[in-house]
C-alpha cells in the first residue's frame, strides 16, 4: 500500500517574511483640535523672575530688618559694660569739683533769690529853696510781697512825702500810693501803678524756727547807694526798741548785726535760703550820728504780712 507523503514542519521551504513598515499616523486636518500633550515645566530662570516679582518687596523689608537686628546684636556684643560707680568715685568727683570750681557763697545765692523783688523807695516833695521844685526828700527801701505790685516798706520812709515813687530792679520807675499803714510796727503798704514784666514776689518765711546765730543778709539802699548787700547773723529775738525821741516803742523785734544805715529802712532781712523773715526798721546808736554800730532791728514778717491782710503762716 502506498503511503501518503508526510511534510516536515521545518521553515526551510518557507519564504522569508518581509518586515512590515508601520503605517504612518494619520495627520490631523488643519483647523481640527488635537489632544495636547502634558505641559512642559517652565525653565528655572522664569520661575525665579516670577517669584521675585511677587515677593520682592516683602523680601526687601525682611532683609532690612534682619540687617538692622544684626547690627544691634553686633553693637550690644561690642559695647563695653557700664561702669558701676562706687562711693569712692563719687567722693573723688566731689572733691575734684571743690578743688577746681569756685562755688557761690550762701549769701550770694540768697541775694540772687531776692534781688528782683527789692525796690528803691523815693519820698518826693517840694524844695522851698528851689522855688517849690519837686526833689527827692528821702530815700528808703522796700520789697515786693505780691506780684501785683504790693510793696512793704517803713512808715517813717513815706510819712512826709508829697508823692512816692518806686524804682524796680530793671530800672523802671513807677508812682506808688500808700494803701495801708501799721504805725505800731512802723509799716506802710504801697501799690505801684506801673509794673515790669514778670515781676517776682519775695518768698516769705515764718520766724518760728529762727534761732540766734542763723545767717542773714540785709538788702537795701543805705544812703541811697544800692542795692547793697550786707551779711551777719541773728543776734536775738523778741527785742524792744524806743526811738531816740521817745515817741514810739517797737516790740517783738528781730535783732541782727548785718550792717544797716539810713536808707536801709524798709528793706528785707533775708535768710541764707533767700526767704524774707523781717523788714529792717531801725538801728541802735547812742550818739546822734545815726550810723550803724552793730545793732539793727527788723519787724518780723508775720507782723508785716498782717499789715496787708496776708496770713501765710
Q: Which residues are identified as catalytic?
A: 156, 186, 265
Pairing of strands 276-283, 268-271: antiparallel
d(CA 282, CA 266): 9
SS3 category, 224: helix
β-sheet bridge partners, residue 141: 120
Residue ranges in the chain assigned as alpha helix (H) = 44-78, 87-100, 106-114, 155-158, 301-307
Which grid cell sits at 173? 520807675
d(CA 51, CA 100): 69
β-sheet bridge partners, residue 283: 296
**DSSP per residue, 266-287:** TPEEEETTS-EEEEEEEE--SS
d(CA 219, CA 229): 5
- Supply φ then ψ for residue 150, to 5 degrees: -85, 125
CA distances from 48 to 33, 51, 54, 55, 60 (A): 33, 5, 10, 10, 15
d(CA 181, CA 152): 10
Amino acid at each position: 500500500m502506498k503511503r501518503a507523503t508526510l511534510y516536515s514542519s521545518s521553515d526551510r521551504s518557507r519564504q522569508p517574511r518581509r518586515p512590515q513598515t508601520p503605517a504612518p499616523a494619520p495627520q490631523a486636518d488643519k483647523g481640527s483640535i488635537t489632544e495636547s500633550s502634558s505641559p512642559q515645566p517652565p525653565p528655572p530662570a522664569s520661575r525665579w523672575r516670577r517669584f521675585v516679582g511677587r515677593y520682592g518687596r516683602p523680601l526687601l523689608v525682611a532683609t532690612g530688618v534682619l540687617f538692622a537686628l544684626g547690627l544691634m546684636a553686633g553693637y550690644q556684643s561690642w559695647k563695653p559694660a557700664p561702669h558701676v560707680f562706687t562711693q569712692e568715685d563719687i567722693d573723688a568727683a566731689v572733691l575734684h569739683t571743690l578743688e577746681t570750681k569756685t562755688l557761690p557763697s550762701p549769701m550770694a545765692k540768697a541775694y540772687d533769690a531776692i534781688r528782683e523783688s527789692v525796690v528803691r523807695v523815693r519820698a518826693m516833695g517840694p524844695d522851698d529853696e528851689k522855688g517849690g521844685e519837686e526833689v527827692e526828700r528821702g530815700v528808703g527801701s522796700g520789697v515786693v510781697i505780691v506780684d501785683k505790685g504790693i510793696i512793704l516798706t517803713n512808715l517813717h520812709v513815706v510819712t512826709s512825702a508829697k508823692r512816692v515813687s518806686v524804682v524796680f530792679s530793671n530800672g523802671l520807675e513807677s508812682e506808688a500810693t500808700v494803701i495801708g499803714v501799721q504805725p505800731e510796727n512802723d509799716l506802710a503798704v504801697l501799690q505801684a501803678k506801673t509794673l515790669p514784666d514778670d515781676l517776682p514776689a519775695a518768698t516769705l518765711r515764718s520766724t518760728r524756727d529762727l534761732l540766734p546765730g542763723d545767717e542773714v543778709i540785709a538788702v537795701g539802699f543805705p544812703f541811697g547807694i544800692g542795692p547793697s548787700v550786707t551779711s551777719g547773723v541773728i543776734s536775738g529775738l523778741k527785742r524792744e526798741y524806743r526811738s531816740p525821741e521817745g515817741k514810739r516803742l517797737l516790740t517783738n523785734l528781730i535783732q541782727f548785726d548785718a550792717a544797716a544805715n539810713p536808707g536801709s529802712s524798709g528793706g528785707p532781712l533775708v535768710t541764707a535760703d533767700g526767704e524774707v523773715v523781717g523788714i529792717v526798721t531801725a538801728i541802735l546808736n547812742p550818739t546822734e550820728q545815726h550810723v550803724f554800730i552793730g545793732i539793727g532791728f527788723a519787724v518780723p514778717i508775720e507782723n508785716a504780712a498782717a499789715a496787708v491782710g496776708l496770713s501765710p503762716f
